[in-house]
Amino acid sequence: MSDQNGPDLRTNIGGIELKNPVMTASGTFGYADEFKKLIDLNRLGAIIVKGLSLKPTKGNPPPRIVETACGMLNAIGLENVGLETFVNEKLPFLKTLSTPIFVNIYGKSIEEYEELALSLNTTEGIAGIEVNISCPNVKAGGIAFGVDPESAYKVVKAIRQKITRPLMVKLSPNVTDITEIAARVEAAGADSLSLINTLTGMVIDIETRRSKLANITGGLSGPAIKPIALRMVWQVVQKVKIPVIGVGGIMTAEDALEFLIAGAAAIQVGTANFINPHTTIDILEGIKKYLIEKKITCLTDIIGTFSQ
């Protein structure tokens, strides 16, 4: 099905309009070139690349991934190539795409976040920044920002003062009240919120009585977390005015539609990319099919239509 025909799938995610609501979730889509032979990358609404830090990061020792019921735990530890290599070696390919590119960033201090954001604000080929304030796998840094409303406010405010490009902030679900964090991040000047990042979990090998992950705990993702993500998105859209992007366990168009109906302006596909690299395109086509069947001409007419 061609994207030119059928319903209008455009959606605004805060400072930028996407041609459709299907984005890739950070850390599950590499730097996109890994997927270029598998799908038409120009059909995606937006691409979010692997979490980037100022300097290259090795991440945690293996084992770093373990399968769980309806999901997986990862403790990659935010391994990445670092800013310089990203700009010199990964960005040239990304620039050839018509799809907007968001760079997911993290740092161990406010200064690191600021430096990274400032540099990416003027780098050609980048549409916006997604700030990871969750980082459940990283012992130092990140974790403190995403779980405390005032730390979250401070880091986002500092970044906002440095950048003019669209600023999406990715929230941690490992908190008591996600709406409180969401409200502070909005007050700090975020253009949009994405949620959720992974939920901290663990798995024990009963033979060795040790964790199946070298890091002991890891981040849970996949279908197991979808109802939690959906509940959090629904709660947050009632609290803030900025667009919310839904992420967590989305495997099918039906899953994506649940998030859109709950009020998400767009969605991100994560773990599903590992199972079927074509998932994003299947979801895009499924959303279109649903809108055509329901005789809905604009995607925006379905967003937030949930009724109690």
Ligand X SMILES: Cc1cc2nc3c(=O)[nH]c(=O)nc-3n(C[C@H](O)[C@H](O)[C@H](O)COP(=O)(O)O)c2cc1C
Query: Which are the catalytic amino acids?
Result: 135
Sole window of 174-182, 203-211, 255-263, 269-277 interacting with ligand X (rule: CB under 6 A): 269-277
Residue 221 binds ligand X, judged by CB under 6 A: yes
Contact criterion met (CB below 8 Å) for 105 and 83? no
Residue from the set 20, 99, 104, 200 that interacts with ligand X by CB under 6 A: 104
Sole window of 72-80, 89-97, 121-129, 156-164 interacting with ligand X (rule: CB under 6 A): 72-80
| Least distance to ligand X, CB of residue 64, Å | 8
Residue 152 binds ligand X, judged by CB under 6 A: no
Sole window of 147-155, 181-189, 201-209, 247-255 interacting with ligand X (rule: CB under 6 A): 247-255
Contact criterion met (CB below 8 Å) for 217 and 200? yes
Residue from the set 100, 146, 243, 270 that interacts with ligand X by CB under 6 A: 270
Residue 198 binds ligand X, judged by CB under 6 A: yes
**Residue whose C-alpha is closest to residue 264's, from 1, 6, 18, 4:** 18
| Least distance to ligand X, CB of residue 68, Å | 12
Structure-derived torsion over alpha carbons of residues 220, 223, 228, 234, reported in degrees to the nearest 10: 130
Burial class (CB in 10 A: 0-12, 13-18, 19+), 34: exposed
Residue 225 binds ligand X, judged by CB under 6 A: yes
Q: Which two tokens stand for residue 198?
A: 């992974």
Nearer to ligand X, 263 or 270 (CB): 270
| Least distance to ligand X, CB of residue 135, Å | 8
Contact criterion met (CB below 8 Å) for 234 and 178? no
Residue from the set 14, 45, 146, 249 that interacts with ligand X by CB under 6 A: 249
Residue 173 binds ligand X, judged by CB under 6 A: no
| Least distance to ligand X, CB of residue 199, Å | 9
Residue from the set 50, 160, 184, 288 that interacts with ligand X by CB under 6 A: 50
Residue from the set 81, 167, 213, 250 that interacts with ligand X by CB under 6 A: 250
Residue 25 binds ligand X, judged by CB under 6 A: yes
Contacts with ligand X by CB under 6 A lie at 25-28, 50-51, 74, 76, 78, 104, 132, 170, 197-198, 221-222, 225, 247-250, 269-272
